[in-house]
Structure 1
């Protein structure tokens, strides 16, 4: 099965591996200095966890995900779109549900979620999330900042039109929006989530096979009615309350300024 672990193993001689103990709050500074994918093998206080960053920081590492030369990345992306979406296969459970924590057993502090910059008010999960339109049933994938507020609460910043449209429908209906935060997948799942052109009738996940040549396999979440990649390392399931807000930011931007 295509997974983050199989990807890291395939390219292990190309990545930077840091095997000495590293404090979680130092991860952001170390990755900011690298122009290569970084694999942290020993995060202090989080035995059994590895952490990877910089999977898309330049054309060289992007080319690894696409299986092409760095000079061919744009051409390869165009070829992915030409191949178009392919149906997903649904599995009954899988690696992402080998361990399940519910209720009082949930503690986000046990996951090595990084405080990326000195001014971040919280540790932030920056992986992708999954939503579903409550009226059309169409899925949506996006990349919000999800800050850890407590052992079982987070604040999410939605900046895309589709996510805000789905959230608005839940606000009007007086319902909470199901959301799955997906961490630690093959980077092709992240790559396809960046597709933002209108695509009614299919969703970003369905481009996975066009990138990897393998069928994308998903499974149903345990507590909400959504599907996620079966090989994910961690899935955080929950609901977004559209009437409740919390402070977020300042936010570091690509210009190296905070907003």
Structure 2
């Protein structure tokens, strides 16, 4: 695969080296020492600067942003938007934007297992703050932001939970929303089917706590690699191997200081703790707002009435640590969730229908989860039906997917106007639409509830829809797009096209 050459740049091995790479590219990272309040103001600023995604307009896709002066937290730094632009993700992962899904797909198939550092000091443990110290207070130590005035509380939005199966020791890593509930307590929301929640349930049946670490401020290959889901990464699959495959070297782990689990050695911040058995908490117990935080569909999700509790045992961090966060519904979530979705769908379709599906895009409008565009290549009359077969494979591979639009290979699947053009000229609703009602979807889509449609049996059940916007092969000659002469525009518009060539 042709990849962007970053040989002149230092390799990305952690968050700090990722930022060095961004600093070498214009307009990818900005910094401010203007005082910012982490309570709503920080997210409000970045909503305008670069959040994108399903955030309410006006918003835009823009640079990552470092806040160097956080109100109430002297010396703290907060980074937002690191992966809130597809081109920036490609820069950080040594790829091209249009090839990211296939690049991730290769990494899943060619993973490298993590390694544990023994007898060595780890950057993530340069400073240790123990919760049994009477002065310890998570709320004062780390500037966890609130995204809106209605948030249930401060949230760690990019905390990568690392936990292990209490039966066989298999490790899993996933990102979950974590609300700060007290000096040493967090609530954690698990969407249905998450593996660490299965580990928690096993431990709880025995009356035992589940030790975990929450790793923040990472090499971007690690969180994006952690966003794969079953069946691509079944129970027992260690997603840290994906980051290893992306980088061509193993992720380094280190034993935690206070719990029997491991931390990511080059993380900026690690929260060590245990998920308590039999303990539950209302998510908005401290605010009574009735809301949690903005989720990927673009809405403030309801506060959950009963969530598991993490008892914090310690916080370890690097010196001058960076707290990394995101704006919930923004383009950063789209990329974190969507690019692994693209990889999963492409790998499965290419295995079943070799060479037929050319590319996949998990569209921003669906938060990287609900809407996929499939680009296919028809080569003969024998390909009839393959496009819809590919869509069915996609739905089987990624259960949270809701709608699929299929286009031909002369359509740019990353250009929404081009996709909608195909829908207007190569689609008839009564002929080219497939409905699959009563299928498992995503609980955070507010339309997937019985109150919306009485035929929906339970929250998180949806009607899946396939829009076949490909031309019929027998009418191929009627759907040839107007062909323009290829001309190098550089001599005529050098300010727009600074380099010659087509």
TM tier relative to shorter chain: over 0.9
Change (3 A) 1:7 1:198: closer
User: Cα offset for 1:215?
Assistant: 2.8
Alignment of 1:202-217 (within 5 A): 202-217=237-252
**Aligned equivalents of 2:32, 2:163: Cα separation in 1:** 34
Q: State the distance in 2 between where 1:229 and 1:100 align.
A: 15
The alignment partner of 1:130 has SS state of: strand
Cα distance in 2 between the residues matched to 1:200 and 1:250: 28
Identify the residue that residue 268 of structure 2 maps to in structure 1.
233
Aligned partner of residue 162 in structure 2, secondary structure: strand
Q: Is the 8 A contact 1:89 1:215 kept in 2?
A: no
C-alpha distance in structure 2 between counterparts of 1:123 and 1:254, whole Å: 17
Give the counterpart of 2:297 among 239, 255, 258: 255
| Residues 87 and 254 (structure 1), Cα distance of their counterparts in 2 relative to 1, 3 Å cut | closer
- TM alignment of 1:99-178, pairs within 5 A: 99-102=127-130, 103-104=132-133, 105-109=135-139, 110-126=141-157, 127-161=159-193, 162-178=195-211
* 2:269 pairs with 1:242: no
Contact 2:112 2:248 in 1 (8 A): no
- Which whole-Å CA distance do the structure 2 matches of 1:146 and 1:67 have between them? 31
How far does residue 239 in structure 1 lie from its aligned partner after superposition? 0.9
CA displacement at 1:149 relative to structure 2: 1.0
TM, length-normalised to structure 1:
0.92
SS at match of 1:129: strand
Asked if the contact 1:85–1:202 (Cα under 8 Å) also holds between the matched residues in 2, the reply is no
Q: Distance in 1 between matches of 2:235 and 2:72?
A: 44
Residues 1:28 and 2:58 aligned together: no
Give matches, 1:57-72, under 5 Å. Answer: 57-72=84-99
Secondary structure at 1:241's aligned position in 2? strand
- Unaligned 5+ segments in structure 1 are none
Q: Shift in Å at residue 89 of structure 1? A: 4.2
Whole-angstrom CA distance in 1 between matches of 2:125 and 2:114: 22
Aligned residue in 2 for 1:98: 126
**1:45: which partner in 2?**
72
Report the CA distance between 1:125 and its aligned residue: 0.7
State the Cα distance separating 1:96 from its structure 2 match. Answer: 0.8
Deviation, 1:47, is: 2.2
The Cα shift of 1:124 comes to: 0.4
- 1:198 CA displacement: 3.1
**Contact 2:160 2:174 survives alignment (8 Å):** yes
Tell me the distance in 2 between the aligned counterparts of 1:253 and 1:87.
31
Q: How far apart, CA to CA, are the structure 1 residues paired with 2:213 and 2:275? A: 10
Unaligned runs of 5+ in 2: 1-11, 51-60, 284-290, 302-502
Q: Which moved more, 1:58-67 or 1:165-174?
A: 58-67
Match of 1:73 among 92, 97, 100: 100
3-state SS, counterpart of residue 244 of structure 1: strand
Report which structure shows greater RCO (CA 8 Å, sep ≥6).
Answer: 1
Higher Rg of the two aligned structures: 2
**Residues 101, 87 of structure 1: alpha-carbon distance in 2 compared, 3 angstrom cutoff:** closer
Q: Offset at 1:93?
A: 3.1
* Stretch deviating more after TM superposition (214-223 or 87-96): 87-96
Note if contact 2:111-2:243 (Cα within 8 Å) is conserved in structure 1. Answer: no
What SS does structure 2 have at the residue aligned with 1:224? coil
Residue aligned with 2:279, SS: coil
Q: Tell me by how many angstroms 1:183 deviates.
A: 1.2
SS at match of 1:137: coil
Give the CA deviation at 1:45: 2.2
Contact 2:147 2:294 in 1 (8 A): no
SS of 2:278 mapped into structure 1: coil
Task: Provide TM-score, normalisation by structure 2.
Answer: 0.49
Asked if residue 185 in structure 1 is aligned to residue 212 in structure 2, the reply is no
CA separation of 1:246 and 1:200: change in aligned 2, threshold 3 A: closer
